[in-house]
Amino acid sequence: MGRLSYGKADRAGAAICTGTLVAADLVLTAGHCLPKAVQTNPASVRFQPGFGTPLAGEERRGITVLVPSPRPGPQVRMGEDIAFLRLQTAYPGQQVVPLALAPGIQSGPFTFFGYDRAQPALAPIARPCVALALFPPQAPQMVGLDCSVVSGNSGGPLLVPGPDGRWQVAGVMVARAGVPLASLAVLPWPELLP
């Protein structure tokens, strides 16, 4: 997990998002974090895994933005708010270990990480999140959660432990919500990875 930034990102209010390395050169984030203007200039986006921690990896720039094919089944507009940033240079396996996508629909409990636009230089802290609802119920694409989010959290991973104990990405934070839900995350689908 790391910080996506554009321009001068170390001042409060700077445009930042959160992303997760899912392959040596591939960052998963919210689609609205990589809008059309960025898609025409992906080198303007910087990713640094572990930003703000003693184990931070080297910063990398984007080379292309990949928007996945629409998911099968009923369409939920916000349920497709996912994109990938392909990096100009891959991370060596011993330096940064990518996280796998969790298989199937996960219902938590989750651990959430996301950078805060009000404090862009600080490392995020782990926060628990509980699933309150799946949308639509017959073919879930999104999960409504009890954890509150702030600007900069977009693209942050909802993590669950895999069978081997390693973290897996079960969802991507995309929005604040109203009562009784505090936030919404997109659930990955099997054909998501490019």
Tokens of 40: 């025409």
Mean pLDDT by 10 residues, the chain (194 residues): 81 81 96 91 94 92 90 68 96 88 86 92 92 85 93 95 93 91 90 79
Q: Please tell me the pTM assigned to this model.
A: 0.93
**Which DSSP string do the residues of 28-91 spell out, in sequence order?**
EEEGGGS-HHHHT-GGGEEEEETTTSTTPPPPEEEEEEE-PPPPSSS--GGGG-EEEEEESSPP
CA 51 from chain centre, in angstroms, equals 14
Residue type, 82: I
* Start-to-end Cα distance in the chain: 19
Q: Rounded to an integer, what distance in angstroms lies between the CA atom of residue 193 and that of residue 84?
A: 9
Say how far apart CA 104 and CA 49 lie, in whole Å.
26
Q: Hey, what domains does the chain have and what are their CATH numbers?
A: 2-87 (2.40.10.10), 100-186 (2.40.10.10)
Distances (CA, A) of 172 to 25, 80, 91, 156: 18, 10, 22, 6
148: DSSP letter = -
| Distance, C-alpha 106 to centroid of its chain | 16
pLDDT attached to residue 11: 62
Confidence (pLDDT) at 190: 73
pLDDT of residue 93: 77
pLDDT on residue 166: 92
Q: Which amino acid type is present at position 125? A: I
Distance, in Å, from the CA atom of 23 to the CA atom of 86, rounded to the nearest integer, reads 9
